[in-house]
Amino acid sequence: MAFFIKKWLNKSDFSHLWKNGSPTSFTSLVCFGVLAGACEIIIPVILFYSTFSPCDGDSEDRLFILFILTLILYIIATRELNKKLFDCVEDRIAHIRLRLIEHIRNTDLYSFEKIGQEKIYTVLTSDVRSVSELSNLIAISGRAIIRVITALIYLAFLSPTVFFLAVLAGCVAGGFYVHSQILVRQVMEQVREQEKKLFEAFRDMFDGFKELKLNSKKDNDFFHNCLRHRSSRFQELKLLAHQHTINSYTVSYGSWKALLVAIVMIFPLWGLFSGDMLLIFVGLVLLLPMAALIENVPRFVLAGFSVQRLYQMQKILANLDAEQQDPVSEIEEPLVFEKLRYENIAFMYEENGRTAFSVGPLTISVHAGDIVFITGGNGSGKSTLLKLMAGLYHSSSGTICLNNQKIKITSYRHLFSAVFADFHLSDRLYGMTHIDKEKAEELLMLVQLDEKVKFTGMAFSTLDLSSGQRKRLALVIAVLEDRPVYLFDEWAADQDPDFRQYFYETLLPEFKSRGKTVIAVTHDDHYFHVADQVLKIDYGQMTDENH
């Protein structure tokens, strides 16, 4: 039986979940499930025989002993089934989650941005949570299926003719149910897409709350033509899916009740059942969890969607360009930085198979201790160039050399600490085994945060700061990493005029005096005199105004 169940699972939505599981653990799951389901049928049969069939003292004793043994087996089998099933499902989910995370870690930045953070986040959270509910569903439904199969076997023993008619009726009802579930599946895919659009509208409302408050016309237009429309469409699809579910449930459960009526009222007239057999079988049928079994199917469908999405995401990530392992010499940390040479580097943004925007080819040289400013209009490619220089975007042409030597891109990235425009602060400092507390406190004083933030252990006392103060804290972390090159993307944009001047005329020269190199994207032309190089970018190309 375990072989046939596994064969069926391999063709279902859950095939990926069980594909690499242990055959021994799977067989034990099936065995405990069969044992628990069979015991659930045997116990009421014993009770019915004991109640309605004449028995002598010895027979009653044997039935009592059989009842106790069956009950003990049922308790043990149910406990082991639930435990092993939960362990098995959670183990597979943990394996899938970690494998997804590993793929994400090995994905280059551009591919990650193309997929979208929200899509990956949804898979790792809501889809994983949906799949984690499978253990309880499988335990309940598995035992219910075993009980139904056992009851049918018992029915075949009592009356082969009635068994044949019951199976025939079940096939007809099952066919209708499968057809209805196909419709449900199609609609539920639309429900998920519409739910995604509705959540996007919620995000627009939250992010644009101030703008909507300032413009009642925009607010009303957004509410009626976006929020209300998407909410209504989502409701329509949910109702349609529910209607298909109700139809399938009504026909399936109605067919089951019709079969029960036929067994009780019609089959005895044809001489297919005796009175005693009828009483026992009707009692047995009434104890079958058909309603629960039918109601659980839509939940299985949703869990199946989640399993498919998990593996679709894994497949997408696995097929993307992973981190390049160039066949060139690898330089171990700490890297000695004297000169960086970017020769004809370029990058292209693609959209629908076409180049939407490109940067380069560009040739740039940066020496240790240089302060390099990158400037240009909005959308000119400044931030893209910064990511390209840091090795976060792979150059489509040219070469990058450190001290006139090619190195692996992953080693090359160890040169840089960065504060990007969309920087992130973690609740603790990762990747740094030891931090000098005095140095951290000195840096906090240097950026004028010493009265608000304290360094404790491997974390700062608070991240609840203004956007400008958070950027200063990000700068402190970048300096604590103590790498040769600092990258800043519009760092001074959120600072007040006094601290902006302090950044350009005090902090940057201080970094230079320590032998650090600074590459910064900036619009502050009043401070260009601080830089050793100013690279002006226009539509992805350097202009002749560079100096």
Mean model confidence pLDDT for the chain: 79
In a domain, 211, yes or no: no
In a domain, 99, yes or no: yes
Residue type, 350: E
Assign 422 a pLDDT band (cuts: 50, 70, 90). confident
Q: Is 14 helix (H, G, I), strand (E, B) or coil?
A: coil
Phi and psi for 339 in degrees, rounded to 5?
-155, 140
- The residue-averaged pLDDT of 167-186 equals 75
Instruction: Among 126, 158, 190, give the residue marking a domain's end.
Output: 158
pLDDT value at position 518?
94
pLDDT value at position 279?
65
Joined tokens for residue 52: 């309605």
pLDDT value at position 487?
94
**What is the CATH number for 136?**
1.20.1560.10
In a domain, 213, yes or no: no
Instruction: Among 134, 158, 182, give the residue marking a domain's end.
Output: 158
Of the chain, the percentage scoring pLDDT greater than 70 comes to 82
Residue 144 exposure: Cα atoms within 13 Å on the Cβ side: 18
In a domain, 525, yes or no: yes
**What is the CATH number for 527?**
3.40.50.300
Range ranked top by mean pLDDT from 231-240, 286-295, 402-411? 231-240
| Domain, as residue range, for 524 | 339-542
Q: Distance between CA 535 and CA 507 in Å, rounded?
A: 21
pLDDT value at position 289?
66
Q: What angle do CA 255, 261, 262 make, to 5 degrees?
A: 90
Q: Distance between CA 442 and CA 291 in Å, rounded?
A: 69
Instruction: Among 132, 158, 184, give the residue marking a domain's end.
Output: 158
User: Domains in the chain: how many in total?
Assistant: 2
In a domain, 220, yes or no: no
Q: Is 522 helix (H, G, I), strand (E, B) or coil?
A: coil
pLDDT value at position 9?
47
Residue 20 predicted with pLDDT over 60: no
In a domain, 11, yes or no: yes
Range ranked top by mean pLDDT from 8-12, 37-41, 282-286, 403-407? 403-407
Residue 330 predicted with pLDDT over 60: no
pLDDT value at position 155?
74
**For the segment 459-515, what is each residue's pLDDT rounded down to a tens digit?**
888 888 888 889 999 999 899 888 899 999 998 888 888 889 999 999 999 999 989
Neighbours of 544 (CB within 10 A): 6
Q: 533 - beta bridge partners?
A: 372
In a domain, 133, yes or no: yes
**For the segment 103-155, what is each residue's pLDDT rounded down to a tens digit?**
888 787 888 888 877 788 888 887 877 777 776 777 777 777 777 777 777 77
In a domain, 58, yes or no: yes
**For the segment 281-304, what is each residue's pLDDT rounded down to a tens digit?**
666 666 666 666 666 776 777 777
